[in-house]
Amino acid sequence: MLVLKITLTFVCLCSFGAALPDVFPGCSFMEYFCTARECTSAFYKGLHQDPSADCGKRFESMLTCLKLKIFVCAGRRQMIMIWLTVQIPKIFKKETFCSDANFGIPQNDNVSCSSTYFEKAPLCGKTLRLKFATNRSDASLCSESAKAKKCVKDLLASECTLDAETMEANNLTLSDHNPFCSNNRDPGATGLEVCHDFTNPPYPCLNQNSYSKAPP
């Protein structure tokens, strides 16, 4: 399961610079990425733990979570919330999240890949999508998600030419974070998780109290 669309909310409209950009006045890129990822992770973990839950309602809650977190990162500017209200539903589709675990392949203008990549990469998440659609509480979703990400990473390494910024972005979206696993990590993952340094205050963008109220 990829979290690429977390970054796409704003970054899809920008080009990567010398490093992953700080696109908000109130948060660094990593602060934004990690706090927005909390929304999608909570969505999938909730469905995994309660497969009978209404996916549509959980999806709407996820969108609200994303909008509020981005709103805070963007300095609570009302025009940002207006823009988000229009654009987020265009970027995040309910059928994608509720039907196939949002598993896609990284898309970026700076990626040059062989035909083999485009033939094989879409197949990496086939089993994951099927199992998610059949039984959201399936314990094997944890390992299948990890396998799907490794499959894409291996293909990117062998079949694509990536610039440094694209490689960094792909490493984030294909990291060992895994909401289908009980500890939120891929099986066998070691070391610190990519968002380890961005999960607690004093980072203003990540202060959960900032999202307890709707924007004015």
Q: How far is CA 128 from the centre of its chain?
A: 16
pLDDT at 6: 40
Q: Could you say which residues of the chain have pLDDT below 50?
A: 1-20, 201-216
* R_g (Cα) of the chain, nearest Å: 17
Counted residue by residue, the chain has a size of 216
Query: What local confidence, expressed as pLDDT, does residue 54 receive?
Result: 94
Residue 101 pLDDT: 67
The per-residue pLDDT for 66 is: 85
Question: 62: how many CB neighbours lie within 10 A of its CB?
Answer: 22
Instruction: Say what the pLDDT of residue 25 is.
Output: 65
For residues 126 and 105, what is the distance between their CA atoms, to the nearest angstrom? 12
Packing angle, helices 55-73 and 4-11, rounded to 10: 50
pLDDT of residue 61: 92
Q: Is there a contact between 203 and 27 (Cβ–Cβ < 8 Å)?
A: yes
- In contact, 76 and 25? CB cutoff 8 Å: no
| Cβ-proximal residues to 7 (8 Å cutoff; 6+ apart), any chain | 33, 36, 169, 172, 173
Question: How far apart, in Å, are the Cα atoms of 154 and each of 34, 96, 97, 133, 138?
Answer: 24, 24, 24, 25, 25
Q: How far apart are CA 69 and CA 39, in angstroms?
A: 9
DSSP annotation of 195: T
What is the end-to-end Cα distance of the chain in Å, rounded? 34
Q: What is the pLDDT of residue 108?
A: 52
DSSP three-state, residue 23: coil
